[in-house]
Every structure is written in structure tokens, then in C-alpha cells.
Amino acid sequence: MNPVAPHSSADPDETTTTTRRRSRQGRPGLTLVAVCFGLFMVGLDSTVVHIANPAIQADLGATFGQLQWIINSYLLALAVFLIPCGKLGDRFGRKRMYVTGVLLFGIASVAIGLSGSVEGVLVFRALQGLSAAMLMPQTIALLRATFPREQFGMAVGIWGGVSSVAIAGGPLVSGILVEQLGWEWVFHINAPIALIGIVFAGVFIRETATEKSGRLDYPGIVLLALALFGIVFAVVQAQAWGWGSATTLGVLVASVVLLALFVIVESRVAEPLLPLDLFRSSGVSVGGLVFVANFFAILGVTFLITLFLMNSLGNSTTKAGLMMLPMSAFSIPAAPLGAVLTSRIGPRRVAALGLALMAVGLAALTLVDLDSSYLLMALPFVVIAFGSGFAIPSGADLIVGGAPVHLAGVASGFQTTCIQIGGAIGTAVLSAIVAGQVAPAVGAARLPDEAAEAGAAGVLFEGVPSINGAFVGGMHLGLWVAAAFCAVIAALVVVAVREPRHHTVEEILVETAETGAGHP
């Protein structure tokens, strides 16, 4: 039997205030559950594609360059539209923007599996990236609007945990789905997640207040999108065009000109997409390079290593996913540990340490060849995971801590843009290095041009070990390039950055979460 509630003697004004506060906050716990569905999809799709790529190549006949674009079309769309979509959420409603993003992500995921062509996969991967840009900034914004200040740090911790589990589990989930059901189900699995997420969001998330003032910097958005696309497109296509060709150089020069125009526009518009005042602190600029170097290495190397594991070593997708697990799984404890270290000894030292660890791990991977023990691969994976886990929270603290207070939100979006651009450039550059090593070996063996595509993807050639040796050699060279890049940025952090004010662990975790969401 339910007891009858006693008569309340509370002050009516106090009761009204409490009611209003609850109305404004909505249902924090259920709101957190609702946004985690979209967050989980985006985290999962950041790592599942690498394992699925060889199956997509075999089924649809994708070229080596197209395999790169399956990854880069997503990264570029996410990078370009992240900050604008965050501002659109502020303008038109964060719940509305979040639900629309989840819906489009689910539709795009199903469309990828049904497309039946490489071109269709590329188009809908770009739509996935746009959808991720629509929903990600809203996740943190909705939590901030819903949770009381004293509980927000806890909510962010759960937010980060869900994202980490999704990213870590991606390779294994992808391996099992590809092996048991086909590569299409790597994307189809998002449909039920999106559907449940939309239902939860519709029922439990309350719309936040909208901002009617301000204008979107449309010229800035267009110029930045064209410039970033041009740079990545030129690097990817340089394998076919030639690095010294007029076409490659022309696209690169045009992209640099567009970047210069972007800077001019940002210096003159009233409400720029990326205010130039943000870069007055060296911590912001160098912190951005920390993220670029980190994800240049992580995503570029992951692209090559998965091809090596599956095409060169002949592992199943499930086994390849298990073999990749140390790199993603150890990042789960590494990031909170990096946040603790950052709060105690400062982001400058931790960022340099993290990138140095990554350089060591990448260099150690150059010992791996076709006959190596898996231990030679697993141990460097763990070192790289801890290096990346240290670099992310410390890099976030360098940027947000170094940014002017009124630009802290824009700084978060800048960080996430650096993540996507670093990953796209890393995938393109390291792949170009491998392709450049394989092409002469294919020519010397007098094989058709199509063999260069397969050789660059790590496919074994019976009786022609020189091609496989060229792939492994190119992979090693790419690893050395990534290691050198991480080492150079680590040195730059030490030399160019003054130690900013130390923040608490909770503040650093919030900064890191906002980095992942790109919340403006």
C-alpha cells in the first residue's frame, strides 16, 4: 500500500523555484542514456571501417585510393561541419539537431550497405560524417543544460566511458559482423541503435532554449571546406597523378590560396567561424598540432596495419579485430590516467611524454614483418595506446586552457577539427608512401597496372616476393614518418609552450569530452 504523502509546509516561492529548476533540467539520467545512443554509433563507426575495408575492396572492386576516401570522406565532412552544426543547434534547438543527426546517421548507414557501388559508399559515408557533425556537439550541450553543475563531471565521465568502449570494441565488432553476416552489417547495425536513440530522445530529452542573435559565417564555411577538401584530395590523388605533376601542384596551390582567403575573411567578419584571436596563445596552436600528430599517426597507421593483418598475413576479420584490440582497449584507462597526470604535472610535460611514447611505439612497429611474432606488434600497440591517451587530455588542456575565456567553446570545435584533419592527412600521406614503394616493384615484375592497386593494399603475390617486400618496406617507412612527426611536435611542445595554469582532473575531463564533441 502506498502511504499518503504528508502535507508540505514548504515556502510556496521555494517550491515554485524547485519546480522551475526541475522543469529546466528535465530528466538528467534519461537524457544521458538518450544521447549515448548517438555517441555510441559515432564511436563505433570511427574504428569499424578499417577492418571492413578489405571486404569492401573484394566485393565492390574498390581501388586503393577509394579505400582511403571511404575513411576520409567521413572525416572531412565531420571536420568541416562540426563547428557550424554546433552553432545551428544553439540557434534552432539542440534536441531537434540531435534527433535529426541520429536519423540521418541511421539512414546513411543503411544506404551504404544497400548502395552496391563504391561511389554510393563514398557519398553516404560523407553523409554519415555530416550527420555525426550534427549530433556530436549537441550531446555535451544537452548534458550541460540538463545536469546540475555538481553532477556534470560524473555525466561527462559516463559520456567518455561510452565513447571509449564503442571505439575500443569497433575492430572486434566489425570483424565478427564481416565474417558472419557481410561487410554491409558493419553499417546496418546502426539502424536499430538509431531507432532506439530517436525514441529515447523524443520521450526523455527536453528542448533547450535557442539563441536568435548572431549570423553564421557562410563564406568562412565554404572557403574552409574547399581548402581542406583540396589538400586531402591532392594528397590522395597524387598516387595516380604524380607528386610533381601540374595537376597535383595546382590543386595544392589553389588550396593554400583558399586558406589564405579564409584567414582574410575571418579577420574581417563580425562573427567569424574561427576567430583569429584564438591563436594569440602558443598553447592553442601547438595544442592543435598535438591532436594533428596524434591522429595522423593513429588513423594512418591503423589503415595500413589492418591491410597488413588481413591481406598480407591472411587473418580473418575476427582475428584481425582481436589483434588490433590492444591499441584501442588500453586507451580506455590511458585517457583518465593522462588527465590525472595533466592536473599534477601540467599539460606541457604530459603532451610531450604522450607524443614521445607514440614515437617509440611506432618505431618499434618497424620491426614487424611477414614472419614476426604477434608479441612484436602487441607491445607497441599498448605503448601507442598510452601515448595517445596521455596526449588527448593534455592537448585539450593546452588549447582550452590557452584560449580566451569567451572563445573556449570555439577552441573545443577547433580541437575536433584538428583530429579529423590529422586523421585524413595521415591516412592519405602514409598510403601514398606505401603506394610509392610498391609501384616500382610492380613495374620491375612486369605485371599489369592493376597489380599496383592490390600490392599497395598488401595483397600477397605468389612467386613475386618483391612486391610484398615493397609493401612491408613502405609500411615501415610510413611508420618512421609518423614517429618522426610525433617526435617533432613533442619537441615543439617543450620549446614553444609555457606551462599554463593547472586544472583539476574534473576540469580536464570536461575539456576532453568537449573536444570529442566539438561543442562550441
pLDDT in tens, 317-370: 899 888 988 888 888 888 888 888 888 888 889 999 999 999 999 999 999 998
Q: At what angle do helices 317-329 and 149-180 cross, to 10 degrees?
A: 160
Pick the residue with more confidence: 158 or 246?
Answer: 246
For the segment 261-303, what is each residue's pLDDT rounded down to a tens digit? 999 998 888 888 778 877 877 778 898 899 999 989 998 888 8
> For the ranges 165-179, 200-214, 238-252, which has the lowest average pLDDT?
200-214
The answer regarding whether domain 27-206 maps to CATH 3.90.79.10 reads no
Q: How far apart are CA 51 and CA 202, in angstroms?
A: 33
pLDDT of residue 8: 37
> HSE-up of 37 (CA within 13 Å, CB side)?
27
CB count within 10 Å of CB 468 equals 21
pLDDT higher at 487 or 146:
487
Rounded Cα distance between 117 and 119, Å, is: 5
The pLDDT score that the predictor gives to residue 507 is 64
- Chain centroid, CA 468 distance in Å: 30
Q: Average pLDDT in the 368-373 region?
A: 90
User: In this predicted model, which residue has the larger pLDDT, 497 or 26?
Assistant: 497
**Could you tell me the residue ranges of all domains in the chain?**
27-206, 217-272, 274-520
Sign of CA dihedral 168, 171, 173, 174: positive
**Per-residue model confidence (pLDDT) at position 511:** 61
pLDDT at 5 over 80: no
**Residue 483: partners with Cβ closer than 8 Å, 6 or more residues away:** 297, 358, 359, 360, 362, 363
Q: Which three cell numbers stand for residue 324?
A: 588490433
Greatest mean pLDDT range, 120-134, 214-228, 307-321: 120-134
Q: 463 in the Ramachandran plot: left (φ > 0), alpha (ψ -120 to 50) or beta?
A: left
- Residue 188 is predicted with a pLDDT of 94
What is the mean pLDDT of the segment spanning 118-141?
A: 90
Q: Which positions ≥6 away from 389 have C-beta within 8 Å?
A: 330, 331, 333, 334, 335, 337, 338, 354
pLDDT of residue 361: 96
Which DSSP symbol is given to 46? T
CA 97 remoteness from chain centre: 20
Closest CA to 454 of 307, 300, 302: 307
Name the pLDDT band for 519 (thresholds 50, 70, 90): very low
* Sign of the torsion formed by the C-alpha atoms of 481, 483, 486 and 489: negative
pLDDT at 504: 65
How many angstroms separate the CA atoms of 454 and 311, rounded? 9
The per-residue pLDDT of the chain, averaged, comes to 82
Residue 297: all three cell numbers together? 599517426
Q: Please indicate whether the domains covering 27-206 and 274-520 agree at the CATH topology level.
A: yes
Nearest to 385, CA basis, from 76, 164, 75, 172: 164
Spatial neighbors of 73 by CB under 8 A, at least 6 apart, are 122, 123, 125, 126, 129
Kindly report which listed range (36-40, 311-315, 337-341, 438-442) carries the lowest average pLDDT score: 438-442
Range 140-150 average pLDDT: 80
Percent of the chain whose pLDDT exceeds 70: 86
Are 420 and 292 in contact, with CB atoms under 8 Å apart? no
The identity of residue 384, as a single letter, is I
Q: What span, in angstroms and rounded, lies between the C-alpha atoms of 49 and 145?
A: 33
**71 vs 76, 259, 425, 520, CA distance in Å?**
9, 23, 11, 25
User: Angle between the 282-307 and 347-365 helix axes, to the nearest 10 degrees?
Assistant: 20
Ranked by mean pLDDT, which of 75-89, 318-332, 410-424 comes out on top? 318-332
Q: How many CB atoms are located within 10 Å of the residue 249 CB?
A: 15
Residue matched to cell numbers 571501417: 49
Cβ count within 10 A of residue 26: 18
Give 31's contacts (C-beta < 8 A, 6+ positions apart).
Answer: 142, 143, 146, 147, 204, 205, 206
**What gap in Å lies between CA 493 and CA 276, rounded to an integer?**
21
218 or 99, greater pLDDT: 99
First-last CA distance in the chain: 50
Q: Which of 414, 191, 470, 178 is nearest to 291 (CA)?
A: 414
Q: Does the pLDDT at position 2 exceed 60? A: no
Q: What is the pLDDT of residues 440-495, one digit of tens each?
A: 887 777 777 666 667 777 777 766 777 888 889 999 999 999 999 999 999 999 99
Q: Which of 173, 380, 414 is nearest to 297 (CA)?
A: 380
Query: What pLDDT is attached to residue 172?
Result: 86
- Helix ranges (H only) for 272-313 are 282-307
Q: Hey, what CATH topology would domain 274-520 get?
A: Growth Hormone; Chain: A; (1.20.1250)
Query: Looking at per-residue confidence, does 378 or 239 come out higher?
Result: 378
Rounded to whole angstroms, the Cα distance separating 250 from 349 reads 40
pLDDT at 211: 64
Task: Say what the pLDDT of residue 445 is.
Answer: 74
The whole-number pLDDT of residue 15 equals 38
Length of the chain: 520
Residue 197 pLDDT more than 70? yes
Closest by CA to 208, choosing from 264, 281, 116, 138, is 138
Among residues 442, 381, 452, 408, the alpha carbon closest in space to that of 65 is found at 452
Burial zone of 342 (CB within 10 Å; 0-12 exposed, 13-18 middle, 19+ buried): buried
SS3 71: helix
pLDDT score of 145 more than 50: yes
- The mean pLDDT value for 105-131 works out to 93
Residue pair 395/344 in contact (Cβ under 8 Å)? The answer is: no
List of residues 6+ apart from 329 with CB closer than 8 A = 168, 385
Phi, psi of 109 (to 5 degrees): -65, -45
**For residue 52, pLDDT beyond 70:** yes
Instruction: Quote the CA–CA distance of 383 and 386 in Å, as a whole number.
Output: 5
